[in-house]
């Protein structure tokens, strides 16, 4: 008999994952080239050549007892944490040291570590719809309560008036994700400043600490020179969660980090708690070879051109078909308005043309679907005639 | 302000880890060769050469999009799971398929996955003292209640009469760890059969399911030809947690697996729950390169000779000094009786001679200390004169 809490989880098992498994099933049935699987953010861009070279170098030149051993601290190798801090400082004009960095099992691991460290049962965690559906599970893991801010479907920027209203004395954390999954929207500096001012006001009003958790797996994936503000510079109680899954195309390797700045309330306690949470949640430490690897690849650049071409082609193609969609400034997702009210119907219709899309209700935003365009360019090009056929059903 | 549940955890942060960090501090201060750090199970045997070769082969010959990508199922690569199942079947005459295997972020990740899948708040988890202290944290993560069976300090075999008494209708799981950390004791087939009979009786009596979780990171580390029974063959509701940390000397890489046999009650639900738990706890999937790596190294053997020499030398050396200790049949730990009642005092005395040991109270068994002899042979040899000096304090 499985745990009560897991029963619903199993029943509603991630629609994204289910889609992904369905995509694999269909690929076997119809041939991979005849399935247009936009379901999962699994980058199709290979890891840079430097990743391969770094791995070979590491296993050839390192003492395996150290390379594959437990790290001295559960928070990671000291030299890796130092290198990560320096790289952030260089790029964002911050002043972190290795002590501010906790190496994590990807951003998902990092978010669990920080929520475990912060959340008491009943504490509220605010998210802005549409949001990555896993935030609900992560919050639920620690008996927190997810509070949704409704989506602004004009701009998909956060609704700040509603945000201010929904902050209560129980609000412990606010999760933002910019560039955003599933919309690709980037929050402007103006927006960030307003959010920070609201949180400052509410912290004072309630005498509480409200931690801003910035989930940043898509930081490097921005187009047209758009700037993504570094949030620790706008609000003291900010924690950053980062992942190399997308920037170095290493999603399966589970490597990322948390930044817990000195300016955060109870920073030292929080870093100790994150260190302990890393251990007791069973991560123990971020995979060691991957830690050393990313430290060697801090200057590698993501192949933005690849994603940009996909973005332009798919966005323009869908518009031509008559679909409505905001043009993403970052990440590798398009969030498309469903031409029928029930977007699950739209997803089902798509499947008839071997097009796999994830319903917006998985992101707290029904009436829309998410397309992950981190697929091959051929998939994009070949999908367009299918979208045209699909469009005929509605327009 | 960190979470209430974490405050104690941070305060009592693992004595083992604290020791390990202390060891590093002392090594810097006095030189590594003058510190006898027996605190952590971080193998000093390098990973076999085959590990290096397999990694180089994998990065040279695989499509990086697949090698470093998300796995189709959160439970791991299908081919890896199949290979692991076959390897178990070969060695233990079982009949598992890949469906019974969940690849995990080490045994610690696996234990968290299975406890998350099983435990409702208030459910009881039975452990036999002395036990790996993390079982307490893992159980606490899911609001389970740890129930200790007191140690039999004559044999360090499980006290079965007390076990039977302490099983209640709330008992959801029993964790066994054989070869045992911290004693090195292996449970005999006889013991296993009796335990199984007790659990069968209690399941019937209460109409409940009691899951036996076998934590087996030390399965391959046995001496003198001792046999370690494969527990799924003795009790239907058995789940195995395995790790390659010790057998392939990859503790930092975080790779292991769970076996959930078909015979387990609600096996399919439990496997689905474990798949979902892997995702929502933030593991997402076991590190992919490591999955492929272990599949290539399933026939590699641990260098038992190395540990055996350490075992004999340290065991005999300590006995000669006058210390009392059961001779371990497996793992790489000695569990030594403290010559003074408060074993923390003994640990403190040892530190004066740069000898680092972990107090038995970390394992629910005060009055004893654990020595991890997975260190270099030189450390063992050079520590013996220090132990002799230390012994003079007491004998």
Would you kindly state where each structural domain of chain A is located, as residue ranges?
A: 4-48+302-392, 50-296
Q: Which of residues 214-253 of B touch A (CB under 8 A)?
A: 249-253
pLDDT score, position B19: 74
The chain B residue lying nearest A275, using CA atoms, is B10
Quick check: B122 contacting A, CB < 8 Å?
no
β pairing state of A368-372 and A358-359: antiparallel
Helix axis angle for B78-92 and B288-296, nearest 10°, is: 40
Output the CA angle A217-A223-A229, nearest 5 degrees. 55
β pairing state of A333-337 and A368-372: antiparallel
Residue B20 with chain A: CB contacts under 8 Å: 70, 72
Residue in A3, A63, A73 closest to B120 by CB: A3
Residue B9 with chain A: CB contacts under 8 Å: 273, 276, 280
pLDDT score, position A18: 73
Tell me the mean pLDDT in the region A53-60. 97
- Spatial distance between the Cα atoms of B239 and B119, rounded to a whole number of angstroms: 14
- Spatial distance between the Cα atoms of A395 and A390, rounded to a whole number of angstroms: 9
Tell me the mean pLDDT in the region A126-137. 97
Quick check: A18 contacting B, CB < 8 Å?
no
- Spatial distance between the Cα atoms of B4 and A142, rounded to a whole number of angstroms: 12
Q: Which of residues 36-55 of A touch B (CB under 8 A)?
A: 40, 42-47, 51-52, 55
Phi/psi for B82 (5° steps) reads -65, -45
Complex prediction ipTM: 0.96
Helix axis angle for B377-392 and B343-352, nearest 10°, is: 110
Whether A14 has a pLDDT exceeding 60, the answer reads no
> In the structure, what pLDDT confidence band is assigned to residue A303 with cuts at 50, 70 and 90?
confident
Residue in B52, B254, B266 closest to A1 by CB: B266
pLDDT score, position A20: 72
Residue B55 with chain A: CB contacts under 8 Å: 55-56, 59, 289
Quick check: B265 contacting A, CB < 8 Å?
yes
User: Nearest CA to CA, how far is A111 from chain B (Å)?
Assistant: 8
Helix (H) or strand (E) holding B343: helix B343-352
Residue in A1, A17, A74 closest to B17 by CB: A74
Tell me the mean pLDDT in the region A286-315. 96
The chain B residue lying nearest A136, using CA atoms, is B280
User: Nearest CA to CA, how far is B291 from chain A (Å)?
Assistant: 10
> In the structure, what pLDDT confidence band is assigned to residue A40 with cuts at 50, 70 and 90?
confident
What top-level class would CATH report for the domain B50-296? alpha beta
- List per-residue pLDDT tens for chain B, 395 residues long: 899 999 988 877 756 667 777 888 898 999 989 999 998 888 888 999 999 999 999 999 999 999 999 998 999 999 999 999 999 999 999 999 999 999 999 999 999 999 999 999 999 999 999 999 999 999 999 999 999 999 999 999 999 999 999 999 999 999 999 999 999 999 999 999 999 999 999 999 999 999 999 999 999 999 999 999 999 999 999 999 999 999 999 999 999 999 999 999 999 999 999 999 999 999 999 999 999 999 999 999 888 999 999 999 999 999 999 999 999 999 999 999 999 999 999 999 999 999 999 999 999 999 999 999 999 999 999 999 999 999 999 99
Residue in B252, B281, B289 closest to A70 by CB: B252
Pick the closest to residue A233 from A265, A270, A189, A272 (CA basis): A189
Percent of chain A topping pLDDT 90: 91
User: DSSP string spanning A54-101?
Assistant: HHHHHHHHS-HHHHTSPPSSTT--HHHHHHHHHHHHHHH-----GGGE
Strand partners, A165: none
In SS3 terms, A101-158 reads as EEEECHHHHHHHHHHHHHCCCCCEEEEECCCCCHHHHHHHHCCCEEEEECCCCCCCCC
Which of B27, B209, B282, B362 would you mutate first to test chain A, the one with the most A CBs within 10 A?
B282
Q: Which of residues 158-197 of B touch A (CB under 8 A)?
A: none
The chain A residue lying nearest B112, using CA atoms, is A282
Q: What is the pLDDT of residues A335-391, one digit of tens each?
A: 999 999 999 999 999 999 999 999 999 999 999 999 999 999 999 999 999 999 999
CATH topology of domain B4-48+302-392: 3.90.1150
Greatest Cα pair distance, chain A, in angstroms, is 63
Q: State chain A's mean pLDDT as an integer.
A: 95
Mark residue A215 as left, alpha or beta (left: phi above 0; alpha: psi -120 to 50; beta: remaining).
Answer: beta
Which of A17, A48, A68, A237 would you mutate first to test chain B, the one with the most B CBs within 10 A?
A68
List the beta strands (DSSP E) in B206-332: 211-215, 238-243, 256-259
User: Nearest CA to CA, how far is A231 from chain B (Å)?
Assistant: 20
């Amino acid at each position: 008999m499985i745990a009560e809490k897991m029963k619903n989880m199993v029943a509603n098992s991630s629609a994204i994952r289910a889609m992904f498994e369905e995509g694999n099933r269909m690929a076997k049935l119809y041939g991979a080239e005849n399935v247009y699987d936009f379901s999962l953010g699994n980058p199709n861009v290979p890891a840079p050549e430097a990743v391969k070279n770094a791995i070979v170098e590491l296993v050839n030149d390192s003492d395996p007892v150290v390379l594959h051993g437990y790290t001295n601290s559960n928070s990671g190798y000291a030299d890796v944490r130092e290198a990560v801090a320096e790289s952030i400082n260089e790029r964002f004009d911050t002043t972190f040291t290795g002590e501010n960095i906790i190496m994590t099992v990807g951003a998902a691991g990092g978010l669990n570590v920080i929520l475990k460290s912060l959340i008491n049962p009943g504490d509220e965690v605010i998210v802005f719809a549409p949001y990555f559906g896993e935030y609900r599970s992560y919050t639920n893991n620690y008996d927190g309560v997810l509070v949704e801010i409704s989506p602004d479907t004009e701009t998909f920027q956060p609704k700040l008036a509603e945000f201010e209203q929904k902050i209560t004395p129980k609000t412990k954390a606010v999760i933002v994700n910019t560039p955003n999954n599933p919309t690709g929207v980037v929050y402007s500096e103006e927006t960030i400043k307003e959010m920070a001012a609201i949180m400052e006001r509410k912290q004072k009003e309630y005498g509480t600490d409200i931690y801003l958790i910035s989930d940043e797996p898509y930081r490097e994936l921005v187009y047209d020179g758009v700037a993504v503000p570094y949030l620790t510079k706008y609000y003291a109680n900010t924690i950053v969660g980062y992942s190399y899954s997308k920037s170095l195309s290493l999603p399966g390797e589970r490597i990322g980090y948390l930044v817990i700045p000195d300016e955060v309330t109870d920073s030292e306690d929080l870093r100790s708690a994150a260190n302990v949470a890393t251990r007791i949640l069973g991560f123990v430490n971020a995979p060691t070879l991957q830690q050393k690897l990313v430290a060697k690849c801090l200057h590698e650049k993501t192949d933005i051109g690849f994603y940009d071409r996909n973005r332009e082609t798919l966005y323009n193609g869908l518009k031509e078909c008559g679909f409505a969609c905001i043009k993403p400034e970052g990440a590798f997702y398009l969030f498309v308005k469903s031409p029928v009210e029930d977007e699950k119907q739209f997803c089902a219709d798509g499947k008839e043309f071997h097009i796999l899309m994830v319903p917006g209700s998985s992101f707290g935003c029904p009436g829309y679907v998410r397309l992950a365009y981190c697929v091959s360019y051929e998939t994009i090009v070949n999908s367009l005639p299918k979208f045209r056929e699909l469009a005929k059903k509605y327009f």
